[in-house]
Chains A and B, each alone.
Chain A
Amino acid sequence: MEAAHAHGHAGEHAHHPSGIMRWVTTTNHKDIGTMYLWFSFTMFIVGGIMALIIRTELFQPGLQIIEPDRFNAMTTYHGLIMVFGAIMPAFVGFANWLIPMQIGAPDMAFPRMNNWSFWLLPPAALLLVAAQFVPGGGAGVGWTMYAPLTVQAPMSMDLTIFAVHILGMSSIMGSINIITTLLNMRAPGMTLFKMPLFCWTWLITAYLLVAVMPVLAGAVTMILTDRHFGTHFFNAAGGGDPVLYQHIFWFFGHPEVYIIAIPAFGVISQVIPAFSRKPLFGYTSMVYATASIAVLSFLVWAHHMYTVGMPTEAQLYFMYATMLIAVPTGVKVFNWVATMWKGSLTFETPMLFAIGFLFLFTMGGFSGLVLSITPVDIQLHDTYYVVAHFHYVMVAGALFSAFAGIYFWLPKWTGRMYNETLGKWHFWLSLVFFNVTFFVQHFLGLAGMPRRIPDYALQFADFNKISSIGAWGFGLAQLLFLYIVVKTITSGEKAADRQWEGADSLEWTHLPSPAPYHSFETPPVIK
């Protein structure tokens, strides 16, 4: 810690621009991490407003506030913005803040590229938002962008494709940076198997990103050339095949699910041991389980396509492979529970969100197991059951773990403590309204309500009403979160260097709170 102090001070005197230029030109991993997190929150609000437009239209049967075309655009951009604009950047923000501190490095391996990968995001986000206002309006094609619907979509589709290209470049550069940092910049003695689990999960995620983002770029580029340059990749009349798009998309899309989930696993694997005051039950088996989930994620893509009419053998293979994912996922859940077992548990806000994650993510996992069974999936495919399933995984999974992570590391990042009472309110409001919103959607899907429809038959009215009320509650609860974070930054109480007695990674044991601008210019010694 002494070393960090001495050098950190010198670093702050370096010729840094101030004001807005500080943020535009920064190469500091903490600044960039902060920008990623604020960007992510902004997009979370934008995507959240779209979700509320959707849920308000669905509050009762009939068309009330939005035309079907615009409604379809809302579902499309809600999905794209939440996945690419909110959740992925949030975890890259965590990676930027934490990886150098957790492995005892001074910064990321490629600081300038780090700056570039962040600053690619705002233009991409602008394209996604601007797509709503060009002639023809936003493309109502779904976040999966299936051909040939995308081929006939208005010009906003081109903006969207370009946005996806840019987001992909950003992700690939971010991943290269993370991989290089983790492999080359660990402090002496910090072997791979001594890294905190969060670092491990990001190492695995970064490889997934490098592998699949080019595949997505390829898929949307083919749509672009089908639209404008006379190719027929997805047009049967020209010898193409619309289903080809789905195979390519989901070869990206399924690993993408784990790109979102695996860093969340990493956060949870830091938080649960800290508040159980007990080491993670099976560190090595967690690493192996994560790696095997990552490998399996490349082998199950067509379980999103059981209804396209694949041969029996293919349906069976994809069913078996998908069911197999339940094994390593189970290992992770069992490990977290075993970590809590006979611990000395306390329930500060990060731990509450971690337990909420564990409980609800497992429910999402179980509805995933239900959906892995081909015959059942054929019945439930493209219904609200699927909508419920992936929101349990994405919101109660990724988002809850991001909240857990923010409350956990906010004292380290800002040097100030958040308000524990308000934090708990945020958790309970989120938990209750999340379930009010999404649990009933299981019933809607079972009863036969298709997803992506702006109006519905009368037997679906009750559950839709409940779900819409829940959505508004959930949305408003997030304003409380914003208030808590802003209040912490401006007037929170001073946080201790090791705010959580059970936290044992380097940022807690070797650095003050707030962490100095440049940490570990001299590497710490790891025994």
Chain B
Amino acid sequence: MTKKGMKSVVWGALLAAASGLYSGIVAAQSQFNLQTPQTPIAQKIFDLHTLITWICVIIFVGVFGVMFWAVFKHRKAAGHKAAQFHENTVVELVWTIVPFFILIAIAFPATRTVIEMKDTSDPDVTIKATGYQWKWGYDYLTGEGQGVSFFSTLSTPREQIEGTAPKGENYLLEVDNPVVVPVGKKVRILTTAQDVIHAWWVPALGAKQDAIPGFIRDTWFRAEKVGTYRGQCAELCGKDHGFMPIVVEVVPEEQYKAWVAQQKTKQAAGAGAGAVADGKGVYERVCQACHATGVAGAPKTGDKAAWAPRIAQGNDKLYEHSLKGFKAMPAKGGAPDLPDAQIKAAVDHMLAASK
């Protein structure tokens, strides 16, 4: 190598080291590894990952130790003359067979874990998670909670996403109605979807399962510690794929029972957890896309002049337009699975702001 060439190598190496150091310092505050496992399965996944990563590191160091030895010792610049050997059956057999046995060694624990993960039999609680564009619906199918049913939607305010308000601690990982499950119990999650494929994923619980429209799949977890565990949809499902988180609250048995009782009372009163009329929330999620800016002739919220003649038509007329659609406005503002009460609440919200 020329002197100039050597200089550029040194510069490059320095640059690489500096950038590595910088990433290291910044990263010291972040996480380098899988999330702390909270279930036996997540723990096994964690251990498998650690095992394989170390095997890879050892082989990597071995192979590239040899290569860099050659790079430094067998350089033409160092006066090394090329040997002309090639083809060696013994060596080639060894480096074919040895990796094969290493792979077999990895395959054993991996196989055991696969079988365990697939065993969804005898659950204590079964919950159906349905993916919608873009929220999750939950139906408790067995256990004390049987019959409990609600939607779970991102609760991070729009202002935080758009940067007009400071972001909260659980930015994008918070929902209005979390899934509540008892600690130490085997929870089976059935997944399906309404529209496109979604995936139900909570990393700390070691559970990820695609939710496929028209089909039911399942996964399971047994959380060992009380706590709140957060995950996200893991399959691209359209515009707001990044905005449909999953929050699982693992609570003690008694608290779970109390929660179930509370849910059932609410549902009996005609309003499940997800069905509490939330005009402002619905407005932010559905209506404001057009009504905040006046797209396609939509009257802008707060524009009193635009609203006055409409308000004069009476609330019933406005409810009807919002539910069935009117001119460019789709039925229910394009959110057909929202209950009527929610849409009406959103209309009320807009009217209140525009009178």
Contacts and interface: CB of A to CB of B under 8 A. Distances in A.
24 contacts: A149-B236, A236-B214, A282-B88, A307-B234, A319-B107, A340-B67, A341-B66, A342-B82, A342-B85, A343-B80, A347-B75, A370-B56, A382-B199, A424-B12, A432-B12, A440-B23, A443-B32, A446-B31, A447-B30, A448-B232, A450-B234, A453-B242, A455-B161, A460-B30
A375 B44 contact: yes
B49 A436 contact: no
B52 interface: yes
A436 B76 CA distance: 31
Contacts of A359: 64, 67
B162 A309 contact: no
Contacts of A416: none
Interface stretch (A31-39, A61-69, A91-99, A103-111): A61-69
Interface stretch (A80-88, A117-125, A159-167, A321-329): A321-329
Interface in A422-449: 424-425, 427-428, 431-432, 435-436, 439-440, 443, 446-448
Contacts of B31: 443, 446-447, 459
Interface residues of B, number: 108
B70 A64 contact: no
Contacts of B214: 235-237, 241-242
B313 interface: no
A355 B45 contact: no
A339 B86 CA distance: 8
Interface in B82-114: 82-88, 91-92, 95-96, 99-100, 103, 106-107, 110-111, 113-114
A281 B236 contact: no
Given A307-B234, A323-B106, A439-B23, A455 B242 contact: yes
A428 B171 contact: no
A315 interface: yes
B8 A424 contact: yes
A277 B232 CA distance: 53
A307 B99 CA distance: 27
Interface in B4-25: 4-5, 8-9, 11-12, 15-16, 19-20, 22-23
Interface stretch (B140-148, B200-208, B303-311, B326-334): B200-208
B209 interface: yes
Interface in B42-92: 42, 44-45, 48-49, 52-53, 56, 59-60, 63-64, 66-67, 70-71, 74-77, 80-88, 91-92
Contacts of A453: 232, 241-242
B325 interface: no
Interface string B186-214: 00000000011101010100101110111
A62 B161 contact: yes
A279 interface: yes
A68 B239 contact: yes
B150 to A, nearest CB: 23
B172 A455 contact: yes
B46 to A, nearest CB: 8
Given A308-B210, A323-B103, A462-B29, A337 B233 contact: no
Contacts of A379: 34, 42, 45, 49, 203, 206, 208
B110 A374 contact: yes
B195 A152 contact: yes
B87 A309 contact: no
B115 interface: yes
B171 A142 contact: no
A463 interface: yes
B71 A282 contact: no
A363 B61 CA distance: 11
A18 interface: no
